[in-house]
Structure 1
Amino acid sequence: DGSRFGKLGKNPAVKADFLPDRDRELEDAKEAIRLKEEYRAAMKAKLESSFDLHFLYWQSRGMLGQDVRKIKCVMSVKYGDSVADLLNRFRDDNHREYPELAHLTGEQCMFAKEGLIVPGHHTWFELINTGCVVQDKDVFKDLDSPKFVTDKDKANERKAGIEVKESLKLYSYLDAGCVMDRKWFDRNSKTFPMCKWEVYNPRKDYRTAF
């Protein structure tokens, strides 16, 4: 008789974790929901946060555009932004300074880094966290944390024809990504180093690909 003897309790001295426990299951489910919501909130905040993306604009020069001028650039982007967002903004913000951009759309430009041409749908968060290793180096990991320039870097930048803007001397651009006219790339895709470039595939193992 329940009213006579009351509700039976558990003996705390007996280990019973392996037994079904509805109260514990409900608490575990609530905790799982809380952690999931916490993760979603943190992820949303991360994707909305910004960082300075340092890159080079490869401006084609010459009658046939066979030469290229490498110009240091920096733009604030959100981790949740896509590569296409950068290309569209770069074109819109700079077509007066670089008139050739006035005749292009963002889709007619491309972004590449260390031999990998990045399709426009990839986000910066995805690239930075993807772990794309080429010859023992994580290619995209430094997108939001470029290294500081050294005297050796300065000399190598000059050899590479990278133009040094006074306001952008702090960071090294030797391994920076680059924005360029896709048609220029197509015309020069058989010359070095572009002949070695390929479209980035997140499923491919690049550790021995180059």
Structure 2
Amino acid sequence: MSGFGDGYVGTAQDAVKIRRLEKQREAERRKIEELKNKSADGQPGLLQFGSSTSEILETAFKKETVGLVTREQYVEKRVNIRTKIEEEEKEKLQKLQQEEEELQMQKRKKRRVKGDPRLSFYDDIENGSDEDDFENQETQKKNGPIKLGKDPTVETSFLPDREREAEEQAERERLKKQWLCEQELIKNEPLSITYSYWDGTGHRRVIQVRKGDTIGEFLRAVQQQLAPEFREVRTTSVENLLYVKEDLIIPHQHSFYELIINKARGKSGPLFHFDVHEDVRTIADATKEKDESHAGKVVERHWYEKNKHIFPASRWEIYDPTKKWERYTIHGD
């Protein structure tokens, strides 16, 4: 019995039909062979293979007319037997022709379509059982074509998925809004700053601002606080006041929030601590950096320009966020 050659990609129903037709033809051939073998052994009542229709008719007529004596019975039996044999032969011929046409049709489909043995379901079509295919056909007749779904065991996270991407984008937007709200709350938190107005000597003060305030906003508040006491502060503009923290002049546009979240470092200490504290460790360890925070200085620009070549102003330089200070150096106060 012929099988399916490489490259067949017809449907499972086509494969079932072809196998069924081939099985039926094989059964017919076996029956004919059995008749031949029995006739060759001389068994009575069996015809030789290849006998003509007239010989078949004559043999059957002899069996049916044993013991008949009247002419009418003789003629009637002969007509009936001939009619019966002709009808059987005609039905068998029609059946064989129909099966042959179906088989030829399947072979033509097979020649037209070139299969791909690399398909994951190729082996299932080639080796599937007739019983399972028959059950699938019956199910499809009742319920319509079988719809293939996703295999939940297959990893598909790397594939584009519009729904998943939309969900991820919505989640990112939600987290972004949540983060912005939290940052706004932080910016509105009060911040107490210890500073020293420097005109050659220090005049220490404490003022409260918001963490989100800029250095310019802080200096405006300082001006209002110092104006009653220091005439030069009262008569100058905010743009002419400088804020010096850890030997760095912090430009007006930077905010305390920015210094805090970036954990900015100065030349002589951290820029994100605005209180004043010294390292209280009793044993000095040269391998560990001191944890000290010094009061920032508020300076009038005219004084700075006149004294910038003299210590401590000679140590001051403009704050650059891109410049990293690996270790703190000695602070002059």
Q: TM-score, normalised by structure 2?
A: 0.48
Indicate yes or no: 2:176 matched with 1:36: yes
Distance, in Å, in 2 between the alignment partners of 1:148 and 1:190 is: 28
The answer to whether the 8 Å contact 2:273/2:293 transfers is no
Change (3 A) 1:105 1:90: same
Indicate yes or no: 2:174 matched with 1:55: no
Partner of 2:241 in structure 1? 109
**Deviation string, structure 1 residues 113-165 (Cα, Å, up to 9, x no partner):** 12111111111111223343356x6521212x543796x9xxxxxxxxxxxxx
The correspondence for 1:147, drawn from 268, 277, 292, is: 277
**Deviation string, structure 1 residues 45-97 (Cα, Å, up to 9, x no partner):** 22222211111111x3xxxxxxx231221111112211111111111232113
Distance, in Å, in 1 between the alignment partners of 2:221 and 2:234 is: 12
Partner of 1:176 in structure 2? 295
Q: What RMSD over aligned residues (CA atoms) do the two structures have, in Å?
A: 2.9
**Deviation string, structure 1 residues 165-192 (Cα, Å, up to 9, x no partner):** xxxxxxxx97111112111111111111
Letter in structure 1 aligned against 2:260: I
The answer to whether the 8 Å contact 2:212/2:256 transfers is yes
Runs of 5+ unmatched residues, structure 2: 1-139, 283-291
Distance, in Å, in 2 between the alignment partners of 1:208 and 1:78 is: 29
Any idea what SS the aligned residue of 1:142 has?
coil
Bigger Rg, which one: 2
Partner of 1:75 in structure 2? 207
Letter in structure 1 aligned against 2:277: K
Count of aligned pairs: 178
The answer to whether the 8 Å contact 1:88/1:107 transfers is no
Moved more, 32-41 or 99-108: 99-108
* 1:195 Cα offset (Å): 1.0
Q: TM-score, normalised by structure 1?
A: 0.72
Change (3 A) 1:8 1:48: farther
Distance, in Å, in 2 between the alignment partners of 1:41 and 1:91 is: 31
Distance, in Å, in 2 between the alignment partners of 1:187 and 1:77 is: 30
The correspondence for 1:23, drawn from 159, 163, 167, is: 163
The answer to whether the 8 Å contact 2:246/2:271 transfers is no
Runs of 5+ unmatched residues, structure 1: 61-67, 153-172
Map 1:190-209 to 2 at 5 A: 190-207=309-326
Indicate yes or no: 2:177 matched with 1:46: no
Change (3 A) 1:174 1:56: farther
Any idea what SS the aligned residue of 1:133 has?
coil
Distance, in Å, in 2 between the alignment partners of 1:12 and 1:87 is: 63
Distance, in Å, in 2 between the alignment partners of 1:14 and 1:41 is: 40
Moved more, 178-187 or 7-16: 7-16
The correspondence for 1:122, drawn from 244, 251, 254, is: 254
Distance, in Å, in 1 between the alignment partners of 2:328 and 2:278 is: 28
The answer to whether the 8 Å contact 1:113/1:178 transfers is yes
Distance, in Å, in 2 between the alignment partners of 1:28 and 1:87 is: 44
**Percent of residue pairs bearing the same amino acid type:** 28
Moved more, 11-20 or 71-80: 11-20
More strand by share: 1
* 1:38 Cα offset (Å): 1.0
